[in-house]
Structure 1
Amino acid sequence: MKKKKIVISGVNMVEGGIFTILHNVLQELSEYIKNKDVQVIALVHDASKFNFPNIQLIELPKSKKSWLYRFYYEYFYFKKLSTKIQPDVWLSLHDTTPRVIAKKQFVYCHHPTTFFKPTWKDWKFDYKIGFFSLLYDNLFKLNINKNHTVFVQQHWIKEIFEKRFNITNVKVAIPQFVEEISKEKIALNENKIHFFYPSFPKSFKNIEYLFEAIKLLPEEVLNSCEFHITGLKNNTTKYVNYLNEKYKSTEVNRLKLLNKHMMLKYYNSIDYLVFTSKIETWGLPISEAKAHHKSMLLANLPYAKEACGNYENVSFFNLENQKELAEMITEIVAKKHVFQGNKTAYNTNEDLHNWKEVFQYILTD
């Protein structure tokens, strides 16, 4: 019996959350194909970062050198490569649909900026955010009709894709979240209420909203709280420099980016997650805080409500008004806050809930 060949393309996934997606996919797929007649070929930027049995790696180190290389690979080289490999399935994990020859083709879309209207601040602090918000619509659209299925992470994105690109083959593949719990804690002041905003500090993470809300707090409330924000220490990006200069007199615990082990310690120790991001395709800290049964104050946006799901100890604030968050924090200190709670608004029966279900779906004849 001839082995099925599947190509996983992740040449653009080199750091942060998108690298985690690629790593998880290859790790899960290596386990899934044990004792199965499936050959997996993964296209990656740096093969040294992966060591999974049953996965053949093809390294393309120039893929992140420039957008010209990215376009060359996606729309020229991959067609030649697919002719040579002759895959049964080609799964692109990074938003774009390449020109390839395969029996079935799939794309996994998770870049949030196509749904985001950048402000002048976004252009100022990271022009790529503004550029991608303009570019990605056209990149998503290119060849999208060649896919058997387009995977997205949430239902509100599915609705936008169906309308914007006039397609009906969009399926929600919920990001696989592996619940990790430890008992280790960070030594924090037990006499204060601790609020935690873990983020990779890009301008759309909207960290200044939290700073502005903190500035509105009465002194007696401020003295009862401590705010912990990741990514503001040992970071010299334009956005972080702006935040640290503008709010240098605002007392918060400025943390460096934390590894997984330290993140778990903080989740065990803090009281509230605060999440002020303007746009996400999921919002992993929401899932992490929920797994730790933490109370949450979240932006009143579709991504946050869908990532939160059914949960009682959550309230939502309007991003147009920092006073709303300040009032919630004041109520919490006074022990008068009543959580709004949240209910799942979508039928999730047809969703794919983990990578194993995705593999079964794409490898089914």
Structure 2
Amino acid sequence: MKTIVVNNPAARSSGALTILLEFLDKISTLKCERQFICFVSLEELKKYESEKIKIIVVGKQGVKERILWDNYKLKKYLKDKEIKPDLFLSIQNTGVNLKQEIPQIIYYHQPLSIVDLKWSFFKKSERQYWIYRNIYPIFIKQYLKRVKKVIVQTEWVKDAFNIKFNYSKKNIILLKPEIKKINTNLIKDTPKNKFRIFYPATPLVYKNHKIVIEALGALKKEKGIENMECIFTFDKNENLELDALIKNYKLEENVRLIGKIPYKKVLEYYKNSDMLVFPSYLETLGLPLLEAQLFELNILVSDYPYSREIIGEYKKVEFIKSFDKEGWKEKIWEKYFSLETL
């Protein structure tokens, strides 16, 4: 029986955890003669253990622990336990220090390292992005010559990775995530008494919630938007700056911060909303763009290669420059006015 070692202690939340969970779900249903040994950092993932899946919890890793693990500790662990991988798979963007004869595959899903965006190390809110943009590529390159294949989610990432790391396109595999089929008729209907805008995203700088708040603030001043609400999936303590901006524009009755919600609830909001806004200017994929299409939602999205690729032939969409406040304001009002007067 062949042994596949899977490395992903970095996945603890958000998109990275979603990818890991999808992978574990997939391999748990495979009918093949393979032994998977998966290194993770969350104890609850032990539920995936079976005859063919071994879950090893190594705990949360900071930068120092990650470097030690990738360069020394993982190799030592495998040697001490007499584990001889036939294949090594990293789902956290980088290869590791293993013998040259052990084939390595990496699943790359970190756009911060391949786009030309400027961040300031001296701004606390941007420091992590600066590190991903300027330091993280060093670790990607470190063992890249030992990596046989790189898996990516989208064509634009394939092109960007090829250019950034001078890595042959023939060794980059495009593997788009599968979106589970959803019977929208089975999703709960919930009453609403306002035109509802939905944006399920963590309050990171590049998710660009700010432009939506500014557009709504301008609309409130110019038009009045008593019958409009915008739902963000974080709470005020997650981003005090955005909370202050909402209060500054007197949008407390229009912008609701509902905190993190389970996926079932996300689906309910898709079904019971009038429009998805997606102003993010940095995405590998942009999963909500795919999900919103299942519910035939109107979509306003930043105009970037990622969004053009994911939207495809979907018709109920408007592409807007990510920092064009007037553009966001006009399109939100246009869609609100057209639907309210039907």
Question: TM over 0.5: same fold?
Answer: yes
1:153-192 paired onto structure 2 within 5 Å: 153-168=153-168, 169-180=171-182, 181=184, 182-189=186-193, 192=194
* Counterpart in the other structure of 1:256: 259
Which structure ranks higher in relative contact order (CA pairs < 8 Å, sequence separation ≥ 6)?
1
Could you tell me how far 1:214 is from its partner in structure 2? 1.1
Partner amino acid, structure 1, of 2:237: T
Query: What CA deviation, in whole Å up to 9, does each residue of 1:69-123 have, x standing for no partner?
Result: 1111101122234443111110000011111135321001111221252445993
Contact persistence 1:287–1:307 (CA under 8 A) = yes
Is the CA contact (8 Å cut-off) linking 1:221 and 1:333 kept in structure 2? no
Which residue of 1 is the match for residue 206 of structure 2?
Answer: 204
Alpha carbons of 1:310 and 1:81: their partners in 2 closer, same or farther (altered >3 Å)?
farther
- 1:128 deviation in Å? 1.6
Q: Residue 58 and residue 139 in structure 1: after superposition, are their counterparts in 2 closer, same or farther (change >3 A)?
A: same
* 1:295-319 deviation line (CA, Å, top 9, x unaligned): 1000001111222222111110012
Q: Is the 8 A contact 2:105 2:148 kept in 1?
A: yes
Q: CA deviation at 1:29?
A: 0.4
- Give structure 1 stretches of 5+ with no counterpart: 337-365
Secondary structure class of the residue paired with 1:14? coil
The structure-2 alpha-carbon separation of the partners of 1:107 and 1:122, relative to structure 1 and needing over 3 Å to count, comes to farther
Q: Cα distance, 1:221 vs. partner? A: 5.6
Q: Report if aligned partners of 1:123, 1:130 keep a CA contact under 8 Å in 2.
A: no
In structure 2, relative to structure 1, the CA distance for the partners of 1:187 and 1:119 (3 Å cut) is farther
Aligned partner (choices 216, 223, 227) of residue 214 of structure 1: 216
The AA in structure 2 aligned to 1:199 is A
The alpha-carbon distance between structure 1 residues 121 and 273, as it changes in their structure 2 partners (threshold 3 A), is farther
The residue that corresponds to 1:74 in the other structure is: 70
**Residue 279 to residue 122, structure 1, CA distance change in 2 (3 Å):** farther
Counterpart residue identity of residue 134, structure 2: L
Which residue is 1:49 aligned to? 45
| Equivalent residue number for residue 12 of structure 1 | 10
CA distance in structure 1 between the partners assigned to 2:123 and 2:190 by the alignment? 36
Q: Report deviation, 1:57.
A: 1.6
Find the counterpart in structure 1 of residue 237 from structure 2: 236
Paired residue for 1:302? 305
Are residues 119 and 210 of structure 1, via their aligned partners in 2, closer, same or farther at CA, if it must alter by over 3 Å? Answer: farther
What residue number does 2:94 align with? 96
Answer whether contact 1:196 1:272 (CA < 8 A) is retained.
yes
Residue matched to 1:128: 128
Note the 1:14-29 alignment, pairs <5 A.
14-29=12-27
Instruction: Please tell me whether the aligned partners of residues 23 and 50 of structure 1 are also in contact (alpha carbons under 8 angstroms).
Output: no
The structure-2 alpha-carbon separation of the partners of 1:185 and 1:47, relative to structure 1 and needing over 3 Å to count, comes to same
Equivalents in 2 of 1:330, 1:221: separation in Å? 10
TM-score, reference length from structure 2: 0.88
Q: TM-score, normalised by structure 1?
A: 0.83
1:121 to 1:138, Cα distance in 2 relative to 1, 3 A: closer
Shift of 1:322: 1.0
**Aligned in 2, Cα 1:46/1:252: closer, same or farther, shift over 3 Å?**
closer
Contact 1:185–1:266 (CA under 8 A) maintained in structure 2: no
The CA RMSD measured in Å over matched residues stands at 2.0
291 and 133 in structure 1: CA distance in 2 versus 1, 3 angstrom threshold? same
Change in 2 beyond 3 A, CA 1:121/1:216: farther
CA distance in 1, matches of 2:154, 2:255: 33
Quick check: 2:120–2:127 contact (8 Å CA) kept in 1?
no
CA distance in 1, matches of 2:33, 2:336: 59
How many residue pairs get matched? 324
Unaligned 5+ segments in structure 2 are none
Whether the 8 Å CA contact 1:275–1:298 is kept in 2: the answer is yes
SS at match of 1:56: strand
1-structure distance, mates of 2:160, 2:86: 29
